[in-house]
């Protein structure tokens, strides 16, 4: 059993001798990710501005829509074939640094020389399973839209009255009617928020259940996708909430870093990555008996 403070203290000890190399590793990944994301983001902004500032005939919107879909698919492909393997490489860099003190930047790109296709396959399967669980939330959104449409249509009928068989059924007491509409609208909005959050929970739980997949791959890139998901699930058993809280403990640091010229958070990234490398090592080396992270209120730093 261990505290978050223990993980962070060990991360600080590691960074005391290797911070700037760790910063360089994070900066390299940041630049590559930024360039890859910027290409597709620029196209989306361009097409959005075209739609807002210029007249486009309905026929012309067809190729623009097709191109937008193609760029969206290419963006997903870049994430699967480039960004996720780079994340595995970054994890390898920090795990090796934590274990042996190595600061070889070549670790960032080791995936492209060793079991690259398997790493792509495993990370894709992870994303696919999380996405499939996320479909629950999409279904809930569609259902809420249908319910909301029916509810608001009924409210309009109540507000303005309706005619059937030549007889007008208009309501007289507008004050009470407006109050009822307001109550129904607030109740619906609260219900929609709660329902959507509840629908997101399965995908969120799965994302933390498979949290360690990229760390497992950074040491054994030839691991079968079923084994990788199963190992991560076992490692995160009893630790999903603790990991979420550990992430939250960095929120203040990242907000502070963002306020410093908008790129200050990059200086926080080595601390964050080193801490989660320590978390992986703890979970990897823990006994098979139940073991969880202690969530004492004094542990957040």
> For the chain (length 301 residues), average pLDDT per consecutive 10?
84 96 95 77 50 50 68 82 95 96 94 93 95 89 83 63 48 54 80 87 94 96 96 94 94 87 85 96 74 42 39
Quote the domain boundaries for residue 186.
2-299
Q: Supply the pLDDT for residue 72.
A: 75
Q: Supply the pLDDT for residue 62.
A: 60
Q: Supply the pLDDT for residue 167.
A: 44
Q: Supply the pLDDT for residue 24.
A: 96
| Number of domains the chain is built from | 1
Question: What pTM was estimated for this model as a whole?
Answer: 0.80
In three-state form (DSSP H/G/I as H, E/B as E, the rest C), the secondary structure along the chain is CEEHHHHHHHHHHHHHHHHHHHHHHHHHHHHHHHHHHHHHHHHHHHHHHHHHHCCCCHHHHHHHHHHHHHHHHHHHHHHHHHHHHHHHHHHHHHHHHHHHCCCCHHHHHHHHHCCHHHHHHHHHHHHHHHHHHHHHHHHHHHHHHHHHHHHHHHHHHHHHCEEECCEEECCCCHHHHHHHHHHHHHHHHHHHHHHHHHHHHHHHHHHHHCCCHHHHHHHCCCCCHHHHHHHHHHHCCCCHHHHHHHHHCCHHHHHHHHHCCCCCHHHHHHHHHHHHHHHHHHHHHCCCCCCCEECCHHHCC
Q: Supply the pLDDT for residue 259.
A: 84
């Amino acid at each position: 059993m261990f505290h978050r403070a223990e993980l962070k203290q060990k991360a600080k000890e590691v960074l005391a001798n290797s911070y700037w190399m760790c910063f360089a590793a994070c900066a390299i990944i940041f630049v590559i990710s930024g360039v890859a994301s910027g290409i597709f983001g620029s196209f989306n902004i361009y097409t959005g501005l075209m739609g807002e500032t210029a007249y486009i005939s309905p026929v012309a919107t067809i190729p623009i829509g097709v191109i937008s879909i193609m760029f969206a698919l290419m963006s997903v492909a870049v994430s699967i074939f480039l960004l996720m393997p780079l994340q595995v490489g970054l994890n390898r860099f920090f795990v090796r640094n934590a274990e042996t003190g190595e600061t070889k930047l070549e670790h960032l790109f080791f995936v492209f020389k060793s079991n690259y296709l398997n790493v792509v396959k495993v990370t894709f399967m992870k994303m696919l399973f999380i996405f499939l669980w996320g479909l629950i939330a999409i279904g809930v959104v569609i259902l809420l839209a249908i319910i909301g449409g029916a509810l608001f249509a009924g409210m309009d009928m109540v507000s303005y009255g309706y005619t059937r068989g030549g007889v007008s059924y208009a309501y007289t007491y507008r004050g009470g009617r407006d109050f009822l509409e307001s109550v129904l609208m607030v109740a619906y909005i609260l219900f929609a928020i709660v329902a959507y959050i509840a629908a997101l929970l399965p995908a969120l739980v799965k994302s933390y259940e498979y949290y360690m997949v990229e760390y497992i791959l950074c040491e054994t890139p030839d691991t079968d996708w079923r084994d990788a998901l199963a190992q991560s699930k076992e490692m995160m058993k009893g630790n999903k909430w603790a990991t979420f809280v550990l992430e939250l403990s960095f929120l203040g640091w990242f907000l502070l870093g963002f306020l410093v010229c908008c790129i200050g958070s990059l200086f926080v990234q080595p601390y964050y990555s080193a801490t989660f490398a320590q978390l992986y090592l703890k979970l990897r080396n823990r006994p098979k008996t139940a073991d969880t992270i202690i969530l004492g209120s004094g542990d957040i730093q």
